[in-house]
Each structure stands twice: as C-alpha cells, then as structure tokens.
Amino acid sequence: MGLFDTVRSSFDIGPGYRKNLQTKDLECLMCEYWIDPAGKLYEVDYSHTQDFVEDMLGYIPNGRHGKVRPIYHTGVVEVYPEKWDCYYAPFPSCHLTFVDGIITKVNHVSKHETRNP
C-alpha cells in the first residue's frame, strides 16, 4: 500500500467522488486536505488537539481546535475514491488541475484495471 493523503471534497467533482478521496500527489505524509465548494484547497491540521493520559493509556481531547490553512498548489493532482465496491467496473481516477490552490479543470480518467475482490 504505502502512504497517501486524504482529501475531502465539498466541490462537485462528479459521481463516485463524494466521500473521502486519496492522493499521492501532494505531501504523501498522511495529511488531510479539504476542497471547499468554490474549489479552493486547504490543509486540515489536528495536531496538538489531544493529550495522552497514562492512567487511561489513551488520548483525550484537550479543548484545542485544529487549524485550517490554504494551500497554494499549482499542478495536477490525481485523486481516487478511498473505497470502491463496484468490482465489475474499472477503478476510477480523476485529475484535478490546480492553479494557486484553486481547481481550474477536472479530468476523469478511466483505468482499465479492476480490483480483485
């Protein structure tokens, strides 16, 4: 498998791209991104929002909120659905062209491979 980034999109990319998406074309360090309804790209950072508690051997929320910052990426980013349950259909892929962090073009790519169940 490998590392990938998660992209959540409020921008209408097309059918099959409504839930969590994955990409390896941004940081590829398990970062989280969000595309707003206008097509602008943001990074969502949840670091320092939980504290480790030894007695419970786990993490608890500490009341801090995450940070959202705009990303001014220029280039093509390939995104694909996190889950694809249609084993009879080719696994979809989509190329998003960004200019200064804003989507300017959406290109759906048909892959000729199918996932093995």
- Give the C-alpha separation, 97 to 117, whole Å: 31
**pTM of this structure:** 0.75
The percentage of residues in the chain with a pLDDT greater than 90, rounded to a whole number, is 32
Domain that holds residue 19: 5-110
For residue 24, being part of any structural domain is answered with yes
Overall number of domains in the chain: 1
Q: Which two tokens stand for residue 34?
A: 């969000």
Residue 70 lies in a domain: yes
Q: How far apart are CA 94 and CA 97, in angstroms?
A: 10
Give a yes or no: residue 116 inside a domain: no
* 115 found inside a domain: no
What is the band of 111 on the pLDDT scale with cuts at 50, 70, 90? low
